[in-house]
Structure 1
Amino acid sequence: MELFADRAEAGALLAERLPDARDPVVLALPRGGVAVAVPVARRFGAPLDVLVTRKIGYPPQPELGVGAIAEGGEPVFDLALLHRLGLTPESVAGVVEEERRELARRVRAYRGERALPPLEGREVIVVDDGLATGGTARAALRAVAAAKPARVTLAVPVGARGTVEALRQEADEVVALLTPVDFRAVGQWYEHFEQLSDEDVLDLLGAA
């Protein structure tokens, strides 16, 4: 299975595969999703904005996500994982509050005081650079759904097969170019997968 050269190439290929949409709004999950979303927004001549999400980590091992939160939405937990770890949503309330603060900081950094574009009755395309567990994408899709859009499409270059299938319950359509069986991490499917900074995100949004 071939690799994507970088996020820009992946976004261009993804844009070609997306079905036609009428006057959509494109929302990217920062940071990496923004670079993928630029060619998608360009294809539709659509406004591009960010939908900020944060992972809710297991306190002793923050890289292990037990849930996620998106701006405008409520925390979405992996209840089975919480149970296996002997936790409840209430027991990670402190982590949720920390992530709410960081989420608010990033919203201010990326958008200032400007609100998200209105989503009610619109077609919305949510873009990320890949799906591993899908926790942040699920939180994002539920936050978008609460705004009562006409239709929601989740678009990613690559995703774990089981995650892609599970998220079909959260969106009207999921478009994934690659769903490899041997998926281990998003970055393994890109030749160049540099970490993006807040400044990179602002530059991409400005260019779009």
Structure 2
Amino acid sequence: MHEAPPAFRDRIDAGQRLAKNLGHYKSAQVIVFAIPRGGVPVAVEVAKQLGSRLDIVIPRKIPIPYNPEAGYGAVTEDGIIVLNEPLVESLQLTHQEIERHAEEAKAEIKRRSALYRRWLKPSSVEGKTAIIIDDGLASGYTMIAAVKSIRRQGAATIIVAVPVASSGAWKLIKAIADEVVCLFVAHTYHFAVASFYRHWHDLTDREVFEALEGFTKHYGGYAHE
């Protein structure tokens, strides 16, 4: 961990720098999982450097009704729901409301999965090492959901790798992952992943699709086949 915030040029730069800290995981038994959208360019660079298979795991934030930019939990494609319980209590949400919001989020997951999996078929992670990658962790709840989903699929070891994380998210993930590789942990009250990138924009479905297409066409699912 660095004492000063790193200025990543963009997600590709972040992925290349992250890969340098993951070199000891070069193995055919490693699968790199990207969390779309922002985690895809980061994960592509890591998979290239490790010579690993690339896959995706799609957790989705469950948005607060009156503030959709913020979330009170996350849901996965296979139905795992992770909640920020203190926040749920303060919002006074009913079980029925939570279920409805989760189903709406799952519908978007299904749409994204159908689009992105035109190029990436699901990988069997049973008994293997999974490296789950995003472009940063703010609350950490989407990553918790991703870890639980991959754990359910039988991964032997789960490494979470991100360029930057809030200290709160870092602590949450440390408690459930086998290892956390993070280039910078930010101990600030107001945290935004975007502030650690010189060039930042919200990726579109097309950009994600093209990144996955490009990787698959060049590497056939593995970087060094």
Distance 2:135 2:179 in 1: 17
Match of 1:31 among 33, 37, 50: 37
User: What is the match of residue 182 of structure 2?
Assistant: 176
Shift of 1:96: 1.1
Match of 1:71 among 73, 77, 82: 77
Distance 1:90 1:77 in 2: 14
Corresponding residue SS for 1:179: strand
Matched, 1:203 2:210: yes
Match of 1:15 among 10, 19, 26: 19
Q: Which of 123-132 and 160-169 deviates more?
A: 160-169
Contact 1:73–1:139 (CA under 8 A) maintained in structure 2: no
TM-superposition CA deviations, 1:29-53 (whole Å, max 9, x none): 0011001111110111111122112
Contact 1:49–1:205 (CA under 8 A) maintained in structure 2: no
TM-superposition CA deviations, 1:12-42 (whole Å, max 9, x none): 0100012522321001000110011111101
After superposition, residues 160-171 of structure 1 pair within 5 angstroms as 160-171=166-177
Distance 1:42 1:133 in 2: 28
* TM-score in terms of structure 1 length: 0.94
* TM-score in terms of structure 2 length: 0.88
TM-superposition CA deviations, 1:173-206 (whole Å, max 9, x none): 0100011222510000000012111111111112
After superposition, residues 1-208 of structure 1 pair within 5 angstroms as 1=4, 2-18=6-22, 20-21=24-25, 22-23=27-28, 24-112=30-118, 115-182=121-188, 184-208=191-215
Distance 1:73 1:176 in 2: 27
Corresponding residue SS for 1:9: helix
Contact 2:167–2:187 (CA under 8 A) maintained in structure 1: yes
Q: Structure 1: any 5+ residue segments left out of the alignment?
A: none
RMSD, aligned α-carbons: 1.5
Contact 2:55–2:121 (CA under 8 A) maintained in structure 1: no
Contact 2:119–2:212 (CA under 8 A) maintained in structure 1: no
Shift of 1:89: 3.7
Shift of 1:60: 2.1
Question: Between Structure 1 and Structure 2, how many residues are aligned?
Answer: 208
Shift of 1:114: 6.3
Structure 1 runs, 4 residues or longer, greater than 6 Å off: none
Q: Structure 2: any 5+ residue segments left out of the alignment?
A: 216-225
- Going from structure 1 to structure 2, the CA distance change for 1:181 and 1:97 (only over 3 Å counts) comes to same
